[in-house]
Amino acid sequence: MSDHGQRIDKMSIRFERLLPGPIERVWAYLTEPEKRAEWFAGGVTEMKTGGRAEFIFNHSALTTPDDKPPKKFEAFNKEMRFEGEVLEVDPPRLLVWGGDDGDDYIETRFELESRGDKVLLTLTETKLSSPSRVIGNAAGWHAHLELLSAKLAGEKPAPFWATHARLGEEYEARWGAA
């Protein structure tokens, strides 16, 4: 299993992570605001199709004060709130969120499957609108998943922004101008 995301088609990416279980614990990290805020974004997820999916990002809280964001993200290195939609939910196995922007109907799908005392997380993001979005979101999800893996394993995560920048270059090298 590679840590790097796979490009399953031109506009879709997939990540797999074998995480410490049990499955309910990983599910809580996907759906409970305080737990999800530790690795991605807080916010309430309504557990029904068509429900509200709130995302409260605070990137500065994900890392140490000396790990600075790139200049272009500086204005956003504080609390930023967004809202999406729950497309499918089946606890504790499946959560899909997304939303339609005319040009961009992104779907983010989390699937969980017990593997002994571990849990296989499969994250698939489809219908990204441009090659730059594919690279940007791959770097973003990879960096967030590094935090999730570290949290669940009880390890200290690497600095978020430094990891994000390194991954951005790696995905650009793999998929850029392709």
In this structure, the dihedral spanned by the alpha carbons of residues 76, 81, 86 and 91, taken in order and rounded to 10 degrees, is 90
Q: Counting Cβ atoms within 10 Å, is residue 117 exposed (0-12), middle (13-18) or buried (19+)? A: exposed
Comparing CB distances to another protein, the nearer of 20 and 140 is 140
- Sequence-ordered alpha helix ranges (H) in 87-177: 131-153, 160-175
Closest approach of Cβ 131 to another protein, in Å? 11
Q: Which residue, among 40, 13, 32, 28, has the nearest Cα to 148 in the 3D structure?
A: 40
Closest approach of Cβ 154 to another protein, in Å? 24
Comparing CB distances to another protein, the nearer of 118 and 166 is 166
C-beta atoms surrounding 3 within 10 Å: 12
Rounded to the nearest 5°, which phi and psi values hold at 97? -130, 165
Comparing CB distances to another protein, the nearer of 14 and 118 is 14
Closest approach of Cβ 168 to another protein, in Å? 10
Closest approach of Cβ 1 to another protein, in Å? 21
Comparing CB distances to another protein, the nearer of 119 and 138 is 138
Comparing CB distances to another protein, the nearer of 21 and 84 is 84
d(CA 64, CA 13): 29
d(CA 118, CA 78): 34
Closest approach of Cβ 135 to another protein, in Å? 10
Interacting residues with another protein (CB under 8 A)? 40-41, 55, 57, 59, 69, 72-73, 75-76, 78-84, 97-101, 103-106, 108, 125, 129-130, 132-133, 136-137, 140-141, 144
